[in-house]
Amino acid sequence: MTNTAKTRDQIRAELKGRDPVYGYVRVSTRGQAESGLGLDAQREEILAYASKYGLDADGPVVLLEDQGVSGSVPLADREGGRRLALYLAAPWARHRAHVILRVDRAWRSMYDCMDCLRAWEKAGVTLHLVDLPVNVGDLMGRKMVIDKAFFGELERGLGVSRTQAASAAAKRNGERWSGSPPWGFRFVRGSRKLAPVPIEQRTLGRLLALDALTDPLSLRERAELLNREGVTTKKGQTWSKSRVSKVTRYARNSPHREAFVKAYKAYEGGE
């Protein structure tokens, strides 16, 4: 059983008679979680810190983990972070507990960092940072922690902006911008270019034609019609209301909308 799966009663039994010590670790992707990359290093850092300062003298450090969770998610909204909040609020932990973590693993939001620091200070929790050796009880120390969380948030925001700009540029140039080709296209082997898939483009044109009817069919009726006609989705699945809605919305907003309409009209006209 992992630490993240332990119940509060089990944690209480482990911590009875000593100052509770918690460590928190996080990785952003499922791949990192499954491979162990990142988590093991963080665990070792925290345990080494606890040993160096004698925090584990009365018992082992209880490690809380979040795997495949973005730092943009507030700490208390993550599974491991939520458990940490519960343990710190417990009677046996208040005014005695120690928390060991890295700033960038706990927070990528300045405001979330400020909220946690305020709550933990009020509860008498002693915070230890393995990546920022400052006294969090001191005003200047708290400022340095908040500044680091802010720069983590800034870095994340700039990364998102760069990705969005690159995706938009790739779309305009008809190039690959994701792990899967969009509806109506395939990836050209050995290239970033997108090539049309006629049968998919005809399907998208069909959806647009149904959407443009003066007295349009319901989503359920459109799905039933496509299924009767033997038209499948990109992955060979049958149609449902939600799939019709999602793919129609994509076709309606796509920069290639006119190509989809043309492909369907050509098919209907026998060209």
Q: CB of 257 within 8 A of CB of 251? A: yes
Which of the four pLDDT bands, split at 50, 70 and 90, describes residue 32?
low
| Length of the chain in terms of residues written | 271
Which of the four pLDDT bands, split at 50, 70 and 90, describes residue 128?
very high
Question: Which of 112-126, 132-146, 154-168 shows the highest mean pLDDT?
Answer: 112-126
* Residue 172 covered by a domain: no
Enter the pTM of the model: 0.54
Q: CB of 23 within 8 A of CB of 100? A: yes
Domain boundary among the residues 158, 193, 220 is at: 158
Containing domain of residue 125, as a range? 3-158
* Residue 253 covered by a domain: yes
Q: CB of 24 within 8 A of CB of 84? A: yes
Burial 97-123 (b: 16+ CB within 10 A, else e): bbbbbbbbbbbbbbebbbebbeebeee
Q: How many distinct structural domains can be found in the chain?
A: 2
Same domain, 69 and 140: yes
Same domain, 120 and 232: no
Rounded Cα gap, residues 75 and 174, in angstroms? 39
Q: Would you state the pLDDT for residue 2?
A: 40
* Residue 257 covered by a domain: yes
Same domain, 190 and 248: yes
